[in-house]
């Protein structure tokens, strides 16, 4: 127990480093003037290096070995020890020099990407991305040897613990076979109904911010422990006591920002709901990004695009914007929110095409890490994949392979978690309906606390005590089952008779 207690004390300190880095990262994206980029990159590289140094100190390995003999550890502490070992192995296998260099080059590439994407200048971005990829491959190779898995799976494990590309290939290949044909069915079915009337602006940003905050509060977001800001790319950061959300506003299309806010609110509620007694310890963290994404998609997709939610929110839209007319009716707004089309941009994609966007990125990044695809060949491979999976070809790289921030800062292995989250969200919503009964009635009344309480009990409060598979089995009765997601898509976009 003495060794274990030393580990808890050490990981509490490490957690504080992580919290500081989280806020610096948020500030980098949301508030920092462009002139501070170089200094910030150096600051974050240094802190990551110190964090890495602390995590890999020789006594940590010694404590881990001794703590493994502590038979008196309870379930939470055993799980905590498991997650400590995972974190240590990820860190100890990679030299501090490489950690700092990758952080520095990732920050440089991300800042350059912002202007290069605006100018549609892939040639200017390519050398920076190539350097990030080279360093990421180096990290992946080292970790692969330590974990006894493939280089890509070693990166995947950072975001999806115990994730396996072999299992992902089975699920994603099945979806890739299902989605193009289903998309055609939906487009044909949609063509038989009246075209939705998209509400036209301008929608003042202040009004959108007011609406966003009211929606967040309706779900139980606590503004004493969080805030909402703007950034180039919507995200949720910070830590449980200080959760930072961002979105991107367009005065021509208020739904883009509002649906983004609902998405990030799902992430924020998960962070806030993590087990209070274990905050600061690995077991008190979110159970991987797949589960994290399931929480955001639960709020945004399962609830936020349902007809019952539109019945509740339509009067609020009309009130905030002082609007009226046919385009603000429940039927029309629901058609707008569930409109399916062959879109170029992942973050704007609908439920039907979104998984195809993710599958494309998964296949490309896996090929890049394996050395089967180089940066210079990325635009052509991207365009071919988009045509195959979504049926549309990007006219430029700005809205093609340059649209996402993830690869720019070295985040390879993350993309699959988006679609894993979508599959889990559908499965969790079905389980919540089984346990709670009439969810349509609760949602239409704005009683989101019923759903939040269910998520708190079954997902949030569990932290990392269970593996992802165990978590799903306890909450839903079975491991991951893509059938729930397919049924959800058929019910929503073709009608229950097609399930």
Task: Give the pair of three-digit tokens for residue 213.
Answer: 């905050």
What is d(CA 481, CA 149) in angstroms, rounded to the nearest whole number?
24
Contacts of 240 (CB under 8 A, 6+ apart): 225, 271, 272, 274, 279
At how many degrees (to 10) do helices 254-273 and 330-337 cross?
A: 70
Contacts of 142 (CB under 8 A, 6+ apart): 93, 94, 98
What is d(CA 247, CA 258) in angstroms, rounded to the nearest whole number?
8
Residue 124, CA distances (Å) to 115, 130, 468 in order: 10, 11, 40
Whether residue 264 lies in the annotated active site = yes
CB 332 within 8 Å of CB 196 = yes
Contacts of 179 (CB under 8 A, 6+ apart): 352, 353, 355, 356, 389
CB 29 within 8 Å of CB 232 = yes
Give the start-end residues of each E strand in 104-149.
none
What is d(CA 272, CA 478) in angstroms, rounded to the nearest whole number?
26
Length of the chain: 499
For residue 117, with 0-12 CB atoms within 10 Å meaning exposed, 13-18 middle and 19 or more buried, which class applies? buried
Task: Give the pair of three-digit tokens for residue 250.
Answer: 């367009």
Q: What are phi and psi of 475, to 5 degrees?
A: -80, -35
Of 451, 442, 446, 493, the residue nearest 270 (C-alpha):
451
DSSP class of residue 396 equals S
CB 340 within 8 Å of CB 187 = yes
Task: Give the pair of three-digit tokens for residue 123.
Answer: 């040639």
Active-site residue identified among 108, 160, 264, 365: 264
What is d(CA 389, CA 425) in angstroms, rounded to the nearest whole number?
22
For residue 311, with 0-12 CB atoms within 10 Å meaning exposed, 13-18 middle and 19 or more buried, which class applies? middle
Alpha helices in 31-95 (DSSP H): 37-55, 58-67, 75-92
Active site residue ranges: 264
């Amino acid at each position: 127990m003495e060794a274990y207690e030393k580990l808890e004390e050490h990981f509490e300190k490490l957690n504080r480093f992580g919290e500081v880095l989280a806020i610096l990262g948020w500030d980098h994206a949301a508030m920092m003037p462009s002139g501070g980029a170089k200094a910030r990159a150096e600051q974050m590289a240094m802190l990551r290096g110190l964090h890495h140094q602390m995590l890999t100190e020789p006594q940590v390995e010694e404590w881990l070995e001794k703590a493994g003999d502590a038979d008196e550890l309870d379930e939470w502490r055993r799980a905590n020890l498991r997650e400590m070992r995972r974190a240590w192995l990820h860190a100890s296998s990679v030299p501090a020099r490489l950690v700092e260099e990758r952080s520095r080059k990732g920050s440089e590439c991300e800042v350059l990407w912002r202007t290069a994407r605006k100018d549609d200048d892939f040639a200017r971005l390519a050398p920076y991305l190539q350097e990030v990829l080279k360093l990421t491959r180096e990290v992946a190779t080292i970790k692969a040897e330590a974990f006894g898995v493939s280089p890509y799976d070693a990166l995947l494990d950072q975001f999806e613990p115990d994730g396996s590309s072999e299992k992902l290939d089975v699920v994603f290949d099945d979806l890739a076979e299902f989605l193009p044909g289903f998309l055609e069915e939906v487009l044909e079915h949609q063509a038989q109904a009246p075209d939705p009337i998209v509400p036209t602006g301008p929608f003042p940003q202040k009004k959108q911010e007011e609406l966003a905050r009211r929606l967040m509060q309706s779900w139980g977001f606590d503004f004493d422990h969080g805030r909402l800001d703007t950034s180039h790319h919507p995200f949720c950061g910070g830590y449980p006591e200080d959760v930072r959300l961002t979105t991107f506003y367009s005065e021509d299309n208020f739904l883009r920002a509002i649906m983004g806010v609902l998405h990030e609110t799902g992430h924020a509620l998960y962070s806030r709901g993590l087990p209070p007694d274990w905050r600061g310890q690995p077991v008190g963290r979110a159970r991987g990004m797949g589960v994290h994404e399931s929480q955001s998609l639960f709020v945004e997709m399962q609830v936020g695009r349902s007809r019952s939610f539109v019945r509740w929110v339509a009067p609020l839209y009309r009130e905030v914007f002082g609007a009226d007319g046919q385009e603000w009716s429940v039927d029309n707004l629901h058609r707008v929110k569930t409109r399916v089309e062959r879109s170029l941009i992942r973050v704007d994609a609908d439920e039907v095409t979104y998984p195809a966007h993710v599958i494309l990125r998964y296949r490309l990044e896996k090929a890049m890490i394996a050395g089967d695809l180089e940066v210079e060949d990325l635009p052509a491979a991207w365009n071919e994949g988009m045509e195959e999976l979504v049926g549309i070809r990007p006219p430029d790289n700005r809205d093609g392979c340059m649209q996402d921030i993830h690869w720019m800062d070295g985040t390879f292995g993350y993309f699959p978690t988006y679609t894993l989250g979508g599959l889990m969200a559908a499965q969790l919503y079905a389980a919540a309906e089984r346990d709670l009964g009439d969810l349509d009635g609760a949602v239409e009344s704005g009683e989101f606390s019923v759903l939040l309480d269910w998520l708190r009990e079954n997902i949030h409060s569990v932290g990392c005590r269970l593996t992802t598979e165990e978590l799903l089995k306890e909450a839903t009765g079975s491991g991951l089952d893509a059938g729930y997601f397919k049924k959800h898509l058929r019910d929503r976009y073709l009608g229950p008779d097609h399930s």
